[in-house]
Structure 1
Amino acid sequence: MQQPGTTTTLSKEMQDCVDACMSCHSICEESMSSCLQMGGQAQMQIMRALMDCTEITRICADMMMRRSPMAAEMCRMCARACDMCAEACMGMPEDPLMMRCAESCRRCAEMCRTMAGAAA
């Protein structure tokens, strides 16, 4: 039974943030795979940032979709992880995939910061 005043769909802003998180999650996974194939060329700092980002974006999206009371706090952490990942990816400017990953991370960080502020 639905409580009065609740909706069954996410707001457009929250859905956009979920979409940004899932997009970022996907490209971080793809970038990790690419780094692993490069072998020694991939720096451990980049791999750690990609691993952190791929996990936290998925968790953040999950928490928003289930309307967790901790979603805003997770969005703040997600924004921080995405910023760190974008910075790490910028360490490989010659790699177009890493540049796309950095762009996706920046977009996700911006949307998560907005969501964290909106819920505050």
Structure 2
Amino acid sequence: MTQSQMMPALTQQMQDCIEACMSCHSMCEETMSSCMQKGGQQQMQIMRALMDCSETTRMCADMMMRRSPMSAEMCALCAKVCDMCAEACMAMPDDQQMMRCAEACRRCADTCRAMAGANM
């Protein structure tokens, strides 16, 4: 039995969601680095949301790639975490890095919400 016979190909919707998760993960990592360089109490409060989002999006992408039976539930959780992180980033509207991160989080949340409702 070949690999393709054991696992169906990823749908375009799944591929888009995986890409959004990985993009969001990278953006959260970059934003954490930016926060650490700037310091300050507000950045430190946002760090928790960034860390949660970074880890959740990476795990969500991994679970979809391996066709975990828990993918839909993970996508639903990931959407919530991404929404939370986007809100945290929006607390600093003058920071371009935070605004780019909020956008990546929103895009990921949207694709994850769609996948959570999809039949995987």
Q: What TM-score range do you get, normalising by the shorter chain?
A: over 0.9
1:39 deviates by: 1.1
Answering whether residue 104 of structure 2 is matched by residue 118 of structure 1, we say no
CA contact (8 A) 2:36 2:43 kept: no
Q: Which amino acid aligns with 1:78?
A: C
Q: Which amino acid aligns with 1:73?
A: E
1:43 deviates by: 3.3
1:36 deviates by: 0.4
CA contact (8 A) 2:53 2:82 kept: yes
Separation (CA, whole Å) in 2 of partners of 1:6 and 1:17: 18
Secondary structure in 1 matching 2:39: helix
What percent identity do the matched residue pairs reach? 71
CA contact (8 A) 1:36 1:42 kept: no
1:48 deviates by: 0.5
Residues 71-118 of structure 1, C-alpha deviations (whole Å, 9 max, x = no match): 000000000000000000000100111001000100100000000000
Q: How many residues align?
A: 119
Gaps of 5+ in 2: none
Answering whether residue 104 of structure 2 is matched by residue 70 of structure 1, we say no
Query: Could you state the TM-score of these two structures normalised by the residue count of structure 1?
Result: 0.92
CA contact (8 A) 1:35 1:42 kept: no
Report the counterpart of residue 32 of structure 2 in structure 1: 32
Separation (CA, whole Å) in 1 of partners of 2:101 and 2:31: 7
Q: Which amino acid aligns with 1:109?
A: A
Report the counterpart of residue 49 of structure 1 in structure 2: 49
Query: Could you state the TM-score of these two structures normalised by the residue count of structure 2?
Result: 0.92
Farther-moved stretch of structure 1 (32-41 vs 71-80): 32-41
1:40 deviates by: 1.5
Separation (CA, whole Å) in 1 of partners of 2:117 and 2:44: 32
Q: Which amino acid aligns with 2:93?
A: P
Gaps of 5+ in 1: none
Q: 1:37 to 1:13 in 2, by over 3 A?
A: same
